[in-house]
Amino acid sequence: MENEKVLVQEYRGGIVENEHLGLIAGVDFDGNLRYSIGNPDKVCYLRSCAKSLQCLPLFMNRFDEKFGLTDEEATLFAASHVGRDYHVKNLESIMKKLNVTEDILIMKPTYPLCEKSTEKLIREGKPRRKIYHNCSGKHLGLITSSKGLGLPVTEYWKPDSDLQKLIRKVIGTMADYPADKIVVGIDGCGVPVYGMPLKNCAKAFARLSSPEMIKNEDLRRAVIRVTYLMHKYPDLICGDGEICSELMRDSNIVAKSGAKGIYCFSLKKERLAFAIKILDGAQEPLELVVASILEQIGYKQSVIDSLYKIRPQVVINDNDTIVGACKASFVLEKAE
């Protein structure tokens, strides 16, 4: 086992009905492990937490400028959008400027994650589309990089392609982890997904919040660019009322979620970065875990309250009756 601990407990009728076990690694901006719950060396996939890293080669080469993309359009390269109208409008504009159709995207057509958007499309008799997929912005970013680098756009998703090798190298630099040791899998959307020790996932986000510590000038500029966009257009990163968008309204925080219970965020002024892994892959506990971390380090209450608004600390049934509670149940442990 990984010395995992219970991070969140769900109560109903006076007993604990569910428990979510997990791991937390917290590092300072010098790369030192400051907090640890469970094994910080457990290899975890970054999943969509990596989106703000995977698009860095694009910004290093100024391909957003080369193809005349607006700031709103470029923001979607780091996004896990929920398919609202403002997401779709910008995605369609990107495709037009790249002179591609969505057939080039490798995922299957789907409906948006946003229930209201999906209901509207179904009422109007409109079909599923590939750009409704929450990762379509990332895919279009990879296609943008392929075009800019003169690489075959049909191979943007292949793990052994020159583009993915470049991305792996950049992620290794950001995470202070050898690129050739990064574990490569396939993400839900079909492109490579990268795995490394949880503490190195946190280190990558530490660098997103401390570009002054990055030696490579092009990479430093790219980090400044992508985090600027994430803060300028937080609703494009996911959608209003979603954890990433709400956290990114705070210019001190850089944050991104991933599937199967992974979450990474960093705090500029506090010079701390955290990576969280819920071991059963549940997404629901993440707001409570992040809120508890922020409470324990004394962060501002308004941000914490915004997370509890998304994920209340009560269990409400289908009759709108409070029947239980959800509580974070861990205490941050200082690393030895």
Look at residue 133 and tell me if it is in a domain: yes
Can you give the pTM of this predicted structure? 0.96
Which ranges of the chain would DSSP assign to H, the alpha helix? 51-54, 56-60, 63-66, 71-75, 85-98, 115-123, 136-149, 162-175, 198-208, 217-232, 234-237, 243-247, 286-296, 301-310
Asked if residue 336 is part of any domain, the answer here is: no
With the CA atoms of 231, 233, 234 and 235 taken in that order, what torsion angle do they form, in degrees rounded to the nearest 10? 180
Domain for residue 19, yes or no?
yes
Handedness of CA 94, 100, 104, 110 (dihedral sign): positive
Sign of CA dihedral 158, 163, 166, 172: negative
Task: Kindly give the interhelix angle for 136-149 and 162-175, rounded to the nearest 10 degrees.
Answer: 110
Cβ pair 75, 245 in contact under 8 A = no
Q: What was the pLDDT predicted at 334?
A: 84
DSSP string, 166-202: HHHHHHHHHHTS-GGG-EEEE-TTSSEEEEEEHHHHH
Cα–Cα distance for residue pair 41/202, rounded to 1 Å: 11
Angstrom distance (rounded) from CA 235 to CA 254: 14
Residue 166 lies in a domain: yes
Which among 128, 127, 132, 126 is positioned nearest to 113, based on CA atoms? Answer: 132
> For every one of its 336 residues, what pLDDT tens digit does the chain have, with 9 covering 90 and above?
467 799 999 999 889 999 999 999 999 999 999 999 999 999 999 999 999 999 999 999 999 999 999 999 999 999 999 999 999 999 999 999 999 999 999 999 999 999 999 999 999 999 999 999 999 999 999 999 999 999 999 999 999 999 999 999 999 999 999 999 999 999 999 999 999 999 999 999 999 999 999 999 999 999 999 999 999 999 999 998 899 999 999 999 999 999 999 999 999 999 999 999 999 999 999 999 999 999 999 999 999 999 999 999 999 999 999 999 999 999 998 876
- Specify burial of residue 326 (Cβ count, 10 A radius: 0-12, 13-18, 19+): buried
> Going edge to edge, which strands form the sheet with 43-45?
43-45, 192-197, 183-186
319 is a domain residue: yes
Token pair of 51, please?
């989106």
CATH number at residue 158: 3.40.710
Q: Which residues pair with 44 in a beta bridge?
A: 196
Provide the β-strand partners of residue 23.
277
Q: How far is CA 26 from CA 21, 23, 79, 168, 197, in A?
A: 17, 10, 24, 23, 12
Q: Which domain holds residue 311?
A: 5-328
Please give the torsion angle defined by the CA atoms of residues 88, 93, 96 and 97, in that order, rounded to the nearest 10 degrees.
-140
Other beta carbons within 10 Å of 316: 11
Which burial class, exposed, middle or buried, applies to 21 when counting CB atoms under 10 A from its CB (0-12, 13-18, 19+)? middle
Q: Considering the domain boundaries, does residue 334 fall inside one?
A: no
Q: What is the pLDDT of residue 162?
A: 97
- What is the radius of gyration, based on Cα positions, of the chain? 20
Q: Residue 333 domain-assigned? A: no
Residue 238, domain member (yes or no): yes
Burial classification of residue 2, based on how many CB atoms lie within 10 Å of its CB (0-12 exposed, 13-18 middle, 19 or more buried): middle
In sequence order, the β-bridge partners of residue 184 are: 194
Q: Residue 259 and residue 154: Cα distance in Å, rounded?
A: 25
How many domains in the chain?
1
H-only helix segments in 209-316: 217-232, 234-237, 243-247, 286-296, 301-310
